[in-house]
């Protein structure tokens, strides 16, 4: 089944942005919210936002017209989902609200409709319990702000029918996004990593090592500067896995078990995989890295040019 008609249940901040990008990709999208009036208000907001973003060059020419043409507001959840191929839920992150909404969706949707949740942290398997038949249910987690952040987590719970996942990935990719397929786990990948970083950042401030402002400076101007281009595995491969192993030893000595050398790293180093310098690493195989180094240097220099052009984020100390 090719996905065409989409229902977006919970047309707030995230749901609204997701609706805009599906509309720009050419899909008819029906918005539902807590009541008809809220859905209509959100529709008006999404159209005027799209016009503003197009005028600023943030949306391509023609995008605002597609939003206006393809978005509509429904009187109720039931009316929005009745004929939808794909139903994206983005209501508040409250299990009791999501539970009630999923029950209403299932009662009104076609049995062959795919139902997806945008939850940030709630396990998909837990949400699946609200449905009597959850094989066509999965997590499709857009990031904030949805129109502009390219990565989307696609999360399968134990009962998700894997055969429908490629259609969902294709749908999301048709909006220009990149997808990663994940197993269900609280916080998935994005928030588990992001919260680990925030937790350590707060501990650094609480320990009196640096101010919050200085932690933010170090984060965005050092390792964070690499992150638009490389994830932690590629960064470690380029730095040298033996170096990382040695650094973990120091961390473990001072911070204890929570910073112990991970087994996966130990095994690679013991097998002679030290990253790009020798034997290859987690994600970069052994071989000539001349092109990679040129890409990396160009990427960092160009990013600095963009930052110079944009200047300091307003209102951030």
Ligand X SMILES: NC(=O)c1ccc[n+]([C@@H]2O[C@H](COP(=O)([O-])OP(=O)(O)OC[C@H]3O[C@@H](n4cnc5c(N)ncnc54)[C@H](O)[C@@H]3O)[C@@H](O)[C@H]2O)c1
Residue 34 interacting with ligand X (CB under 6 A): yes
Secondary structure letter of residue 164 according to DSSP: G
Query: Closer CB to ligand X, residue 75 or residue 93?
Result: 93
Is the sign of the CA dihedral 17, 22, 27, 31 positive or negative? negative
Locate tokens 């919210």: which residue?
A: 33
Query: Closer CB to ligand X, residue 97 or residue 196?
Result: 97
With vertex at residue 129, the alpha carbon angle to CA 93 and CA 170, rounded to the nearest 5 degrees, is 70
Q: Applying CB under 6 A, which of residues 58, 97, 227, 313 lies at the interface with ligand X? A: 97
Query: Closer CB to ligand X, residue 36 or residue 292?
Result: 36
Query: Closer CB to ligand X, residue 34 or residue 286?
Result: 34
Cβ atoms 116, 144 nearer than 8 A? no
Residue 13 interacting with ligand X (CB under 6 A): yes
Cβ atoms 29, 4 nearer than 8 A? no
3-state secondary structure 186-208: CCCCHHHHHHHHHHHHHHHHHCC
Cβ atoms 66, 26 nearer than 8 A? yes
For 313, phi and psi rounded to 5 degrees?
A: -60, 125
Q: Applying CB under 6 A, which of residues 23, 30, 33, 85 lies at the interface with ligand X? A: 33
| Contact map string, positions 278 to 317, toward ligand X, x by CB under 6 A | ----------------------------------------
Report, in Å, the least distance between residue 243 CB and ligand X: 35
Q: Which of residues 77-96 bind ligand X (CB under 6 A)?
A: 77, 90-93
Q: Determine whether 205 is exposed, middle or buried from the number of CB atoms within 10 Å of its CB (0-12, 13-18, 19+).
A: middle
Q: Which of residues 41-80 bind ligand X (CB under 6 A)?
A: 77
Residue 14 interacting with ligand X (CB under 6 A): yes
Report, in Å, the least distance between residue 86 CB and ligand X: 16
Tokens for 226? 């690499």
Report, in Å, the least distance between residue 97 CB and ligand X: 5
Contact segment (CB under 6 A) with ligand X among 51-59, 115-123, 227-235, 245-253 equals: 115-123
Cβ atoms 134, 123 nearer than 8 A? no
> Which residues are at the interface with ligand X (CB under 6 A)?
9-15, 33-34, 38, 77, 90-93, 97, 101, 118-120, 143-144
């Amino acid at each position: 089944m090719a996905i065409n008609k989409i229902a977006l249940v919970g047309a707030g901040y995230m749901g609204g942005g997701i609706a805009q990008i599906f509309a720009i990709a050419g899909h008819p999208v029906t918005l539902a919210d807590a009541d008809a009036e809220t859905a209509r208000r959100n529709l008006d907001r999404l159209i005027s936002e799209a016009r503003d973003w197009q005028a600023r060059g943030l949306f391509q020419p023609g995008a605002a017209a597609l939003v206006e043409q393809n978005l509509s507001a429904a009187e109720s959840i039931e009316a929005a989902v009745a004929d939808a191929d794909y139903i994206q839920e983005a209501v508040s992150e409250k299990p009791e609200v999501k539970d009630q909404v999923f029950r209403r969706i299932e009662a009104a949707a076609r049995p062959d409709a795919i139902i997806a949740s945008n939850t940030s942290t709630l396990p998909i398997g837990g949400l699946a319990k609200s449905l009597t038949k959850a094989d066509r249910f999965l997590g499709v987690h857009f990031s904030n702000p949805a129109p502009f952040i390219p990565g989307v987590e696609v999360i399968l719970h134990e009962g998700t029918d894997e055969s429908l996942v490629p259609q969902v990935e294709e749908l999301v990719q048709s909006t220009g996004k990149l997808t990663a397929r994940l197993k269900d786990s609280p916080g998935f990948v994005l928030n588990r990593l992001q919260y680990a970083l925030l937790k350590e950042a707060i501990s650094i401030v609480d320990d009196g090592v640096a101010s919050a402002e200085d932690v933010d400076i170090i984060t965005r101007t050092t390792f964070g500067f690499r992150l638009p281009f490389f994830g932690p595995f590629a960064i470690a491969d380029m730095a040298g896995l033996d170096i990382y192993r040695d650094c973990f030893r120091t961390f473990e000595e001072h911070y204890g078990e929570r910073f112990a050398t991970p087994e996966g790293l130990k095994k690679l180093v013991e097998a002679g995989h030290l990253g790009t310098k020798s034997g290859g690493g987690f994600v970069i195989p052994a071989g000539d890295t001349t092109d990679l180094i040129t890409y990396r240097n160009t990427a960092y220099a160009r990013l600095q040019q963009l930052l110079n052009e944009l200047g300091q984020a307003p209102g951030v100390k």
